[in-house]
Amino acid sequence: MKATLMTTRIRWWAALAALVLATATAFALTRPGAHSSASAASADAQLSVVGGSSTAPKVTDSTVQSEVASAVDNGTRGGATADVASARVALETSTGIKVLAVPATGQTCAVVELPGSLGQGAMHCVSNAEFNTSGAWQMVGAPPSVDVVGLVPDGVTSVKVTFVDGTSRTATVTNNAFDIQSKVASASISFTTPAGSYSGPAQSAG
Amino acid sequence: MTVLSKRGWAPRAALLCAMLALAGLSVGATTASAAHVNGFYCPTNPGATMSLNGGARCTSPFHTTFTGGGFEDVLTPVGVCVVLKPNSDGSGGNIGSPDCVSSGEANIFFTDPGLAGYMTGINESSNFHTGFSGVDQYYTN
């Protein structure tokens, strides 16, 4: 009788343990953060501004480093780990906008520090493979103050942005970075990489 | 001797209890003042359907200490914006600058202690899409 009772208890505990294990496994596999791309991590970004021979200043402000690391980690797909020690200030505009090049696990992040009292930044991260064909750039602000700003792969010398009013501007690329300012919303962007031409929508908030 | 021993244990136990209580209060206070929350909004899991050309937007609950927010359609590469707004329906003037991308995730962040408002994600495409997901960061106090 006692042996039967003991066997029943062992089976019950085994079943409970299996249920807990199955639930934990299902949670780990289905949560949004589980969708990281292993294949994307295998590519190296063509981003010489963060390389050893770069003369662009490193990001040394610990507050900025912390904010960037936190923002990169908090992505909609589970995030990534930013290599803030390798991050560089690729470009600083006359209006005080700083473009930071931040490598992360399998990703390249274009971080934009905006001037002003709000202490705001903006960021766009893409897989390294995507970066090598289409860059990592974003549209910050709204008319009458829009910046199309970001990073493009090695070998791109200029970037052209067309706006909703039909006008266009071209910017020279410095340290893989560019910034094009406008009073109206942007519509499209184009540039030429060593691998070919890229052209795509660049619809800013209007 | 036994009586003395019991008398000796009472204050020791009281002291131990007091120390444990103080330690508990200390841990609780630290947690309450510095809890940094990484959450999801719109919706709590990826998959929301939104429509149309900048008119469709979804918002997070109100917080006074937003330090960051992101927005993306995780299923379809469409244009999105993320911006902090003063109203619960995502209307009103922008608090800070919106960040927009033609695909992937748009992100904004603010220095501590953050800003108040509703983190708002906007579908900038001209079609209905599913798969929208937003993330936000804020302090609980």
In this predicted model, what pLDDT tens digit does every residue of B105-126 receive, in sequence order?
A: 999 999 999 999 999 998 888 7
Whether the CB-CB separation of A157 and A173 falls below 8 Å is answered with yes
Whether the Cβ atoms of residue B30 and residue B36 lie closer than 8 Å to each other: no
Q: Specify whether A149 is located in the same domain as A174.
A: yes
**Average of pLDDT values for B5-21?**
50
Mean pLDDT of B127-135: 83
Strands in chain A per DSSP E: 88-92, 98-104, 107-113, 120-127, 136-142, 145-151, 158-163, 168-172, 177-182, 186-193, 196-201
- Count of beta carbons in the 10 Å neighbourhood of residue B95: 20
Closest CB to A74 among B68, B98, B100:
B68
What is the pTM for the complete model shown? 0.77
Low-confidence residues in chain A, pLDDT < 70? 1-42, 76-78, 206
Q: State pLDDT tens for residues B62-83.
A: 999 999 999 998 888 999 999 9
Q: Give me the domain span that covers residue A49.
A: 39-201
Shared domain check, A4 and A104: no
Q: How far is A70 from chain B (nearest CA, A)?
A: 9
The fold of B36-139 is Jelly Rolls (2.60.120)
Q: Degrees (nearest 5) of the Cα angle A65, B113, A136?
A: 40
Asked, for residue A3, whether it belongs to a domain, the answer is yes
The minimum CA-CA distance between B21 and chain A, rounded to whole Å, is 33
Residue A119 lies in a domain: yes
CB contact under 8 A, A32 and B133: yes
CB contact under 8 A, B105 and A75: yes
How many distinct helices (H) and strands (E) make up chain A?
4, 11
Smallest Cβ–Cβ distance between A124 and the set B54, B94, B106 belongs to B106
Domain residue ranges in chain B: 1-34, 36-139
Q: Which of B37, B72, B109, B122 best tests the A interface by mutation, with the highest count of A CBs <10 A?
A: B109
User: What does pLDDT average to over chain B?
Assistant: 76
User: Which one of A63, A95, A117, A138 would you mutate to disrupt binding with B, by most B Cβ within 10 Å of its Cβ?
Assistant: A138
Does residue A72 sit in the same domain as residue A45?
Answer: yes
B24 Ramachandran zone, left/alpha/beta (phi>0; psi -120 to 50): alpha
In this structure, the answer to whether residues A14 and A99 fall within a common structural domain is no
Q: What is the reported pLDDT for A97?
A: 97
- Binary contact (B108, A119; C-beta < 8 A): no
Tell me, yes or no, whether A26 and A43 share the same domain. no
Name the minimum distance, in Å, from the CA of B31 to any CA of chain A.
18
Statement to judge: residues A22 and A49 lie in one domain = no
> Are B118 and B62 within 8 A, CB to CB?
yes
Collapse the DSSP code of A186 into the 3-class scheme (helix H, G, I; strand E, B; otherwise coil) and give the result.
strand
Please report the pLDDT score of residue A3 as a whole number.
Answer: 55
Q: Judge if A61 and A87 occupy the same domain.
A: yes
Give a yes or no: residue A124 inside a domain.
Answer: yes
Q: Please report the ipTM that was assigned to this predicted complex.
A: 0.79
Confidence of residue B90 (pLDDT cuts 50, 70, 90): confident
**A30, A76, A164, best to mutate vs chain B, most B CBs in 10 Å:** A76
CA-based nearest distance A148→chain B, Å: 9
Q: What are phi and psi of A130, to 5 degrees?
A: -65, -40
Please tell me whether residues A86 and A181 are part of one structural domain: yes
Please indicate, yes or no, whether residues A160 and A196 belong to a single structural domain of this protein. yes
Cα nearest neighbour of A136 on chain B: B101
What tokens were used for B108? 């904004």
Specify the length of chain A in residues.
206
Instruction: Tell how strand B129-139 and strand B36-41 pair up.
Output: antiparallel
pLDDT of residue B30: 42
Q: Which residues of A are less than 8 Å from B111 in CB distance?
A: 63, 67, 118-120
Partners of B67 on chain A (C-beta within 8 Å) are 67, 70
Instruction: Tell me the C-alpha distance between B77 and A204, whole Å.
Output: 15
Out of B74, B101, B109, closest to residue A138 by CB: B101
Residue A206 lies in a domain: no
pLDDT in tens, A24-72: 444 443 333 333 333 334 589 999 999 999 999 999 999 899 989 988 8
Same structural domain, A83 and A178? yes
Provide the percentage of residues in chain B whose pLDDT is more than 90.
40
User: According to the 3-state scheme, what is the secondary structure of chain B?
Assistant: CHHHHHHHHHHHHHHHHHHHHHHHHHHHHHHHHHCEEEEEECCCCCCEEECCCCCCEEECCCEEEEEEEEEEECCCCCCEEEEEECCCCCCCCCEEEEEEECCCCEEEEECCCCEEEEEEEEECCCCCEEEEEEEEEEECC
Domain count, chain A: 2
Query: CB contacts < 8 Å between A and B, how many?
Result: 117
| Res A7: pLDDT | 59
The HSE-up count of residue B36 (CA atoms within 13 Å, CB side) is 11
